[in-house]
Amino acid sequence: MKQFISVNDAGNIDQLVQLALQYKAEPLRDRSAGVGKRIGCLFLNPSLRTRLSTQVAAQQLGLDVIVLNAAADGWKLEFTEGAVMNGQTVEHIKDAAPILGQYVDILAVRSFPELKDREADYAEQIILQFIRYAGVPVISLESATLHPLQSLADVITITENLQAHPNLYQNRTPRIVLSWAPHSKALPQCVANSFAQWINAWHQADLVITHPPGWELSEAFTAGATIETDQQKALEGADFVYVKNWSSYHDYGKIKEEAASWMLTTQKLKATRNAKVMHCLPVRRNLELSDEVLDSPQSLVQQQGGNRVWAAQAVLKSILDSNA
């Protein structure tokens, strides 16, 4: 694995999932794999689970870890080629990234979209410029359009639940529903894009995406999935319901007011096959999902969050193996 910014870098998904589950069973099985090497984690935006799970995974592989919060500890980077830098940006990525690449063996970067200029965000110029200039393997800790470490943890979680009930899925393909949820803030499409991309590439489930009309995601990620704007119809017969808000892709960055009816509730889940409920966290309780659902045994959110460590550890180990 030369880098990890989308499912296209994952190679065989099932093999990656199996490696992750081996780490879950035995966290320190490769504790010398990274000794004498170093990962730099660069946060251009806030992070809790990703921040901590990546550090834990790195420590468990013996890697030295250095964390840099770009905004608070350092300064604002410039990403435009040829810019005359007499404004607020202090350093060009062309200068900063190769320096970082000299200091660390693996560079992990988190950077949200601005949600103002769709073309700029979807060009993924920030993570791609880090790849272009850093000279070391780059891992996405969430970029403008994707969040692959989250999606890998999601597939790990689904795999565990399928394996726990083999009889249920003997004669049919699991049905996974990605269900849009209300939110008071404009959020990226990353988690939804990435989840669709991974489930589609995984080929082991039927994916249905449900959202209000006009909230379609980019077909670059959803092609192959069924789109259904009637939430209740989408939920029928679901085995897994992944709940997530995203702002509009078409009317870029727009949020949907008065969408309370899209909150996932226990009542709505009655149409499913006792579906397991997923969310990447942080979740707005009683806005995206009811307390009742989140606090029920159907919720997998804690399992997903825990699996973030094993996803990161599998990716780090694969990167180390390919760049030894």
Residue (61 or 178) nearer to a second copy, CB: 61
Q: Least separation, in Å, of the C-beta of 157 and a second copy?
A: 13
Pairing mode, strands 206-210 and 64-69? unpaired
Least gap, CB of 220 to a second copy (angstroms): 29
284 makes contact with a second copy (CB under 8 A): yes
User: Is residue 26 part of the contact set for a second copy (CB under 8 A)?
Assistant: no
For a second copy, the binding residue among 3, 6, 53, 125 (CB under 8 A) is: 53
Question: Is 84 a residue that touches a second copy (CB under 8 A)?
Answer: yes
- Report phi then psi at 254, rounded to 5: -70, 140
Asked if 272 and 14 touch (Cβ cutoff 8 Å), the reply is no
Residues in the chain: 324
Residue 160 contacts a second copy per CB under 8 A: no
* 3-state DSSP percent of the chain in helix, strand and coil, to 5: 40, 15, 40
Say which amino acid occupies 182: P
> Rounded to the nearest whole angstrom, what is the least distance from the CB of residue 99 to a second copy in the complex?
4
- Of 34, 85, 95, whose CA–CA distance to 59 is shortest? 34
295 interacts with a second copy by CB under 8 A: yes
Q: Is the dihedral of CA 143, 304, 14, 171 positive or negative?
A: negative
Contacts with a second copy, residue ranges (CB under 8 A): 28, 31, 36, 38, 40, 43, 46-49, 51-53, 55-56, 59, 64, 66, 68-69, 72-75, 78, 82-87, 90-92, 94-96, 98-100, 102-104, 184, 281-287, 291, 294-295, 301-302, 305-306, 309
